Amino acid sequence: MLLAVLAILVCGFSQGQNVGSSPEYIKSLTSNWEGERFADGRPKVSDAVLKRLKKIRVEEAWGYLRRKGYHNQYEGNWQIIHPEEVMTGRVVTAQYMPLRPDYQRTVKLQGAVEKRDTIGGSNSWPIEILEPGDIYVADGYGRIIDGTLIGSNLGNAIYTNSQNGVIFNGGIRDLGGLLEIEGFNGWYRGEDPSYLQEQILTSINAPIRIGRATVLPGDVVLANRHGIMFIPANFVDELVLASEVVALRDEFGFQRLREKKFTAGQIDTRWTDAIKADFMKWIKNYDDSKLPMTRKELSDYLKDNNY
């Protein structure tokens, strides 16, 4: 009788809300992405673009997304394991809530239906699905004491699977051990020696809130000491190229200001035809080996934007 009741419960839960989002749901959330995807449905932004993104300033990414109408993709005021480093990657989301026993039982049963490890804690579930280049992004609602989502053991597991780091709107423990994981980094709210308790995982790869930012699975992260941008995957290629062109414009402008060829007022406003012509001549003689993009990418961008 007990087995029959359990079978009925599991069948009921399997028809209800999943812990992990289905590939179809993730594809619907990220329907503007037209490129390759992971098996779980998340956009697979190329490693080459992620590498180029590391050199983009947060302000440039912020400005680009604001122009596209995305005003809630930045969050700041973090503690950082290695603040001198920049982290980029593809988002895997997780949401945590204060413990409620009946809901916890539901999550555990649904986890069993989804063939997740129900012997250990559910906070290991997002770690088990990480791919190389992923960033584990968790909404721990800012809880630090008893809200430490990882210590050095889980930190090592995360880095083994993703070769990357974490962003936790919550706490961490054993910072000394985490500092010893070469290549691992993390943005978090605070550290505490307590362990995770009275807290449950409620979803994986569903939309979450991180501070004032809305984050979807498959978003791309740009994180440095100045804050974090959560970038919709379909914008990343153009955002990187546009920001690289802005950096070239700045380099040109700074050089001309030092040479006193133009005034600050002239450089810091809409460029005249004379300045544009000077910039085009300057960029034509730019060393191709030092360009962050290909010469064709640059030429096409300048043509499309009326330089």
Mean pLDDT of 181-194: 98
Mean pLDDT of 68-77: 98
* Average predicted confidence (pLDDT) for the chain: 94
Q: Which of 2.70.150.10, 3.30.2350.10, 3.50.30.40, 3.40.50.2020 is the CATH number of 18-231?
A: 3.50.30.40
Q: Residue 17: which pLDDT band, with cuts at 50, 70 and 90?
A: confident
Q: What are phi and psi of 99, to 5 degrees?
A: -60, 135
Residue 19 confidence (pLDDT) above 80: yes
pLDDT at 74: 98
Mean pLDDT of 175-194: 98
Residue 72 confidence (pLDDT) above 50: yes
Beta-carbon contacts of 60 under 8 Å, excluding residues fewer than 6 positions away, are 242, 243, 246, 247
Mean pLDDT of 70-93: 98
Write out pLDDT tens, residues 235-279. 999 999 999 999 999 999 999 999 999 999 999 999 999 999 999
Of the candidates 128, 65, 118, 56, which has an alpha carbon nearest to the alpha carbon of residue 87? 56
Q: What is the CA radius of gyration of the chain?
A: 23
CATH 3.50.30.40 domain range(s) in the chain: 18-231
Contact 72, 214 (CB under 8 A): yes
Q: Residue 12: which pLDDT band, with cuts at 50, 70 and 90?
A: very low
Residue 31 confidence (pLDDT) above 80: yes
Q: Residue 119: which pLDDT band, with cuts at 50, 70 and 90?
A: confident
- Lowest-confidence segment of 1-15, 28-42, 129-143 by average pLDDT: 1-15
